[in-house]
A and B are shown apart, each in its own frame.
Chain A
Amino acid sequence: MTTRTWTTSLAILAAALGGCTDRYWQARLFKPDTSELKQASPEAPFLKAHGKDGSLAVLRAWTLDGAGGTLSGDGLRYDADRKLLSRGQIELPLSDLALLETNRPESVSRSEVAVLGVVAGVTLAVAALCAMNPKACFGSCPTFYAGAPGDERLVAEGFSASIARAFEATDVDSIDVPRPIGSAVELTMKNEALETHYVRSTRLLAVPRPPGGRVYRVGDRYFPTGRELVPLHCRGVEGDCLADVLADGGGEYLSRAGATDLAEQELIELTFSAPAGPAGLVIRARNGLLNTFVFYQGLAWLGGKAGETFARLETMAPGETPAFTGWERLLARAEVEVWTRSGWKVAGAFGEIGPIAKETQLVPLPVDLPPGEVKVRLRLTRGNWKLDRLSLAELAGPAVDPAVITPVEVRRLGGADAGALSRLRGEGARLVSVPGDAWTIRFPVPAALHDAEFFLESRGYYIEWMREQWIAEEDPAAAVALLRNPESALRHLAPAWKKMEPGVEKIFWQSRMGATP
C-alpha cells in the first residue's frame, strides 16, 4: 500500500471514528407524584429521579409501592457533582424528589459519514488504479470544449507535442462545434492534467463550406470537398474493420501493439468506388495510449534529472534541440499509400499527437489513378492509432485561405479576464495555467461564416509534472537510449507495454472523472 493510500485509509478511519450514528436522548419531565408517574412512557427504558438536594438516581426498572410513596428500582445513584455513589437496588421516597425524567435513547444517522465515505471510496479507487498502473493516469495538454455548460464536448487538445519551451509550436485542429452557429463560437480551454501550460495564442480559422460539402485541412492548406464515398472494404491486422471506420458507426479501430516490438507496422487496406474527379482520403483519428506511455516512460527514466534535462533544453538555441524525427515517424504519423499505375505510392500522411480528442485531416490522392476502384492503404504503428472514420472525399476546388478570427472576450469564474484576453491574442507574455484552470474564449463569427468549417489554432508549450511513482524508475542511461535509438527502445519497452495493454484503456476511461469524449 502506498503512502497516499494509507493517507486515504486514515481519512476514512477518522471519518468512521465517530461512528455512523449519534446517540440522542429523548427526555420527558414529570412531577414526582403517583398520577404523573403513571403517565411515564412504558417504552422509556430509564427513569431519572432528581433529588431535591441535587442528587440523581438512574433506574432501568422501577416500581412504585402500593401506597405510592416510594420509588424503587435497579440502577445508579449519583451526588450533585455526579460522582457515582452506589450501584444496585435503590429505594427513593417520593418526598425527597424534585423531578422525575424518563429517558429514551435513539440512534441518529450521520449522513456526513456516508458522504465522506463515498468520496473516500472514489479517492481510494482512483489511487489504487493509479498505483496499480501510474502511466494509466495520463495528462492531456490544453483541452478545448464547445457547447453549453453541462452539455460540453471535447473538440480539441492543443500542442500535445510541445513538451518544453524549445518545442513551442502552433497546432491546428479541426473542431466540431455545435450548430447552428450564433454570433460567436465559444470554447472553454481547460488544464485537466498535472501540467503547466504556457499558451501563446489561440485563434479560430474559418473556411466557408461548399454547398453540401465540407472543408478539410491538409497541413496548412484547406480544401473544400463535395461528395464523400464510404469504403467498400476495410481490412487490418485484426481482420475486417469496415464497421469501425464508417462515419458515425459508433466503432473505433484499434489494433494490438506488436508482441516483441512496439514499432511493428501494420497495413489497413481500403477500397472505394471510383470518384468523379480528384479526391483525398479523409481520416478521423486519435492516438491510442501507446505513444503517451512511451513519453511518460521517458520522463520516468529521467527521474530526478528531468528538471535538469528540461532546463538544458531551455538554454538551447533554435536548431540545437534534438530532432525527434524517428519518433515522429513511428508514433505520430500514419502514412497513406495508394495503388497507382506504377504500383503502391506514398500519397501523404496523417499526423497528430494526442489520445483524447479526435482530429480530422485530408490526404489528397494523385489524379492519375488507374480506372475503377481506388485502392488505398494506411501504414501505421500497431496499437498506436484509433481510427473511426475513413472516407474518400471528392475535391470541390483548389485550396482556400481561411479567415482568421481572434478572441474578443475571455471569461474566468464568470467574470471577464482582460489580462487573459490580451495574452491569448498574442499580446505580451504567455497565459500560464495550472491544473484546474479554465477560461472561456469567445470568437465572433460574422454571418457569412455561419456555415463555415472551423479550426482551432493554438500556440504554446507545456511542462509535465513529475509523479512520485516515476522517480523510482530513474535510469538516465535508458532515457538517453530512448532518445537516440527509438527502434531499440520500442523493442525494450514491448514487454512492459504488453503487460499493461489489455487493461490500460479500461483503467484510463473508467477512472476518468470527466465526460468521456
Chain B
Amino acid sequence: MIPFSFLTPAFLAAAAAAALPLVLHLLRRHPEVRVRFAAVRLLKDAPVEQRRRRRLRELLLLALRVAALVLLAFAFARPYLPGAAGAGAAPITIVGVDVSASMSAPGQFAHAQALAREAVRNAPGDARVGLETFADRADLIVEPTRDRAIVLGAIARLQAGVGATSYRAALARAAGAIGAGRGAIVLVTDLQRTGWDGGGAAALPEGVRVTLADTGTPTGNVAVVDLRREEGGVVATLRNAGAAAASGGARLTIDGRQAGVQTWSVPAGGTADVAFAAAVPASGAAAVTIDDRTGATADNTRYLALDPPAPVPVLVIAAGDDALYVQQALDAGGADARFAVTTVKPAVVATMGAAGLAPYRAAILLDTQGLDVRGREALAALVDRGRGLLVAAGPGIDAGVLQSIVPKGMPAMDVTPPQTDGPGLSLVVADVRHPVVASFGPSAVSLGAVRFRRVARVAAPPSAEVVAQFSDGEPALVDLAGPSAHVLLFASDLSDRWNDFPRHPTFLPFLQEAVGYLVGPRRLPGGYLVGEVPPGVAARPGVVTVPAADGQPARRVAVNVDPREADLARISPADFQSAIVRLEDAGAVEARAAAAADENRQHVWWYALVLVLVVLVGESAVARRTT
C-alpha cells in the first residue's frame, strides 16, 4: 500500500507517459546497426560488448527512463506523508456532552449522561473513543482511547455547568481530536438554537460524521436576565421561555444577607420586572434568586456588584492655569466621574518617569515648556504601552519639542504655530463615524459654533485620519493611529486663549469622548458573563474581585450566566445537520490546507526531483555506453 497522499493527484496520470520508453523499447528491439565490415579482426581484441551485458544495460536504461518519468509525475503530484492520525489510523469517536447552563434543568443532565454512555457503547468496535464537554468552550476530558471504562467513568463524574452553548467550539475541539483521520462526533445536547449564535467558523475534516443525541428541553424555564440598581432598591427582570405562564417567589440578598422577598408572575414567552425596595449600600454584592422548579437552575440567580466603577486616571500636563477648562470638563460627574484627572507641570513629567506615568490611561499635553528630553521619552513610552495622548497645539506647545516626541511606529507630530490671528474659523466634522464625534450624531453641526481666532497648521501624514477640519479646509483634529494606541492632535488650544471652545456646551462632551476614545472602552465593566471573564477571574456566577493589573485598581464585578441560555428555542436535527454540511465544506478546505501544510513541510516532491536528476544522470551515463 502506498503510504503517500497527494495534493494534486491528477498529475499521476502523467505517469502513463512511462509507457513511452516501453513502447520505444519494444519498437526498437534490435537497435544495433548491422554492418558488414572488413576489418573485424582488428576489433576482436577490443572491449566489445557481450550480448547479455548489453541486454542488461538496455533493461537498466529502460528502467531508468521509466523511473524518471514516473518520479517526475510523482513529484508533480505533490506527495506527502499524512500524519499519524491519517486515513490509515483507527477511527475515532468523540462523545461531546453539552454542559451549558440550559442543561441544568432537573433530571436533564442525568438523561444526557445516559445518552453519552449509550454513545460510547455504540461506537464501532475498533474505534477509539474520546470525551469532551462543551459550553462556551470545549474541553477534551478523555483523550481518544480504546479503554471505554475510562470514558464511562468520566461521564459519571460530569455535571451541568453555567456556560452558554457553542456548537462551533464543540465541533472544532472534536475535529481537532480526530485530526485528519476518519471519525465520528456524537453530540449529546438539548439542541438549543442559541448554540449557533455568535461568530467564528468551525471546521470539520471531510469524512467526520456528526450524530446528535437529543436530551430534549424542559417544558418551561424562567430566568433572571437582568439585575440593576434603581432608586430605592434594585430591580430584577425575569423572562419566561416556557409555553405557559409561570409564577413564584424571589429573594434579594445583599452581601449574603436576605434583603427582600417578592413574588413574581411572568406570562408565557414574556418578561416582567420585580422590584425590591431596600436600602442598597454604596458597595457590596447583591443577588436575586427565583423559584423555578421546571427549568434550568443555573439561570435562577443573578448577581450585581454594587461598587461604583473606578474612574480612569488621566494625566493633564499644563503650565499655569491652562488646564482649568480641561480639568473641569473631565471631572464632570462628581463621584461618578469617568476620569480621575491629575494635573502636573511639564517639568514634573521627567521626574515621574515611565514608572510614574504607568497608572495613567491617557495624557493630555497642553504645554511643553519645561518638558525635557526625559519627559518627552516618558511620554513616548506611555504611548508605546498603549496609552492615549491628546495634544492641544495651543500657545503652550513648542513645535520642536512636539516633533521630538515620537512613539514607536507613529509619524512625527508636525505642527506649525500661527504667527497672527487669522480670520475666524469654525469646526467641520470630517468623519462622523469616528468615535470622538460619533456620539454627537446630527448634533455634530453644533461644533461649528465654536470660533477659532488662531489655529496651528497640522501636517496630517497619509496614515493619519482627519476627524475634523477647520472651515478653511486645514486639519483641526487628527488621529495618529499607532500599533497599540492613538494620539489625537488638536490644532488649537483648549484653554480659551485662541478660541472660545471651552465656553461652548459641546466642549465637555467633546473632551469626554476624545479622552474616552483614548483610554479605550467607555468604562471598566462592572460585570461579565461566565464565558467572558478576564484572566484571573473564576468563570462561575457570583460577585468576584478582579485583581489589580495594568495600572487598574482591584475591583469587584458580577459574573452571571448568559441570558441566552434561558431561551428554550431549539434547532431541528435537520437544520443542525445542514449547518454541519456547510462546516464539512469548510472542513474540506481546512483538510486541504492541512495537507498542503504537511506537503510544504515535508518537501517530498523536492526529494523526488533530486531523485529524477540522479536517475537522469545515471540514464545519461548508461546511454553513453549503450548507443
| A and B form one complex | no
**Which residues of chain B have a CB within 8 Å of any CB of chain A?**
none
**Which residues of chain A have a CB within 8 Å of any CB of chain B?**
none
